Amino acid sequence: MGGAVGVLFVGPAGVGKSSLVRAYGDWLVGQGFRVGRVNLDPAADYVPYAPDFDVRKIVSAREIALREGLGPNGALVRAVEVLVGRVGEVMDALGGLDVDYLLIDTPGQMELFVFRDLSLRVVDGLRRVCRGVVGLFVVDASLVRDVGDYAFLALMCAAVQLRLDIDVVAVVNKVDAVDSVPSGLRTWVELLGEASRVLGERGAYGEMMARVAEVVASYSKAMYVPLVSARTGEGLEDLHRVVHEVACSCGDLT
């Protein structure tokens, strides 16, 4: 087991995972930490950081598309299949990086990573080369239209957490691009308490969502939902605090 903390960035396409890898990595470097930035997206045309390991050197979806006559989605699926068989090679490379934090950028199409064998093999490999592994489930602030949306966010985090068997922190990115993020509340207890009130007014399904989300939040080590902007750097210190506490299993985020 190495000395690095592995931070796995997952989430839907377009939420700013790659930009957050860049911004958080730059922030960590500014605090004196050694950082390894890892691109695990074989279909990425561009990443806004200089990767210390780039999976495209092993397999490129673009090259597969040209060679096998596949469309974009088919080429990405095929690239992921190839990558599954070479995860050991990836982990050997990551284990050789002398860093404090490994920031792992995953494919834009979340389902092709999270719900395929690749994610499980990557997590197993990270457990061998890192002293702790934390997942960040990143969403766009524009999708959090009201406080009730935090209940849905809690459920999405739970799905990823159950699949990957690691602690997953919900992160709201691009807060600079919206007029405001609903509610100034920051903890799951506060957010979901307010969500319960809002959802309870929406009938039986709203009440069900609120109750299930409260159960999910009660099992989360991350009490806070960091609100961040990869563009301006807002909230990165809050993000790091949560990552550190979850990785160390300290349990006290107050």
- The predicted model scores a pTM of 0.89
Amino acid at 54: D
Q: Are 45 and 76 in contact (CB under 8 A)?
A: no
Could you list the mean pLDDT of each consecutive 10-residue stretch along the chain, which spans 254 residues?
89 95 99 98 95 96 94 92 94 96 94 91 95 95 79 84 92 90 61 71 74 72 83 95 83 40
Distances (CA, A) of 47 to 37, 111, 166, 193, 244: 10, 20, 25, 38, 25
Q: Specify the pLDDT at position 185.
A: 44
Q: Specify the pLDDT at position 32.
A: 98
Q: At what angle do helices 117-129 and 72-84 cross, to 10 degrees?
A: 40
Rounded distance between C-alpha atoms, residue 47 and residue 54, angstroms? 10
- Euclidean distance between the first and the last CA atom of the chain, given in angstroms as a whole number: 29
Rounded distance between C-alpha atoms, residue 103 and residue 10, angstroms? 11
Q: Specify the pLDDT at position 250.
A: 45
Rounded distance between C-alpha atoms, residue 9 and residue 12, angstroms? 10
Q: Specify the pLDDT at position 55.
A: 96
Q: Are 224 and 186 in contact (CB under 8 A)?
A: yes
Q: Specify the pLDDT at position 220.
A: 66
Beta-bridged to residue 10, according to DSSP, are 137
Categorise residue 87: left if φ over 0, alpha if ψ from -120 to 50, beta otherwise.
alpha
Q: Specify the pLDDT at position 52.
A: 98
Backbone angles phi, psi at 183, to 5 degrees: 75, 140
**Domains, the chain, ordered by start:** 4-248 (3.40.50.300)
Rounded distance between C-alpha atoms, residue 146 and residue 124, angstroms? 36
Rounded distance between C-alpha atoms, residue 20 and residue 232, angstroms? 11
Question: How are beta strands 53-54 and 167-173 bridged, if at all?
Answer: unpaired
* Tokens 């389902």 sit on residue: 111
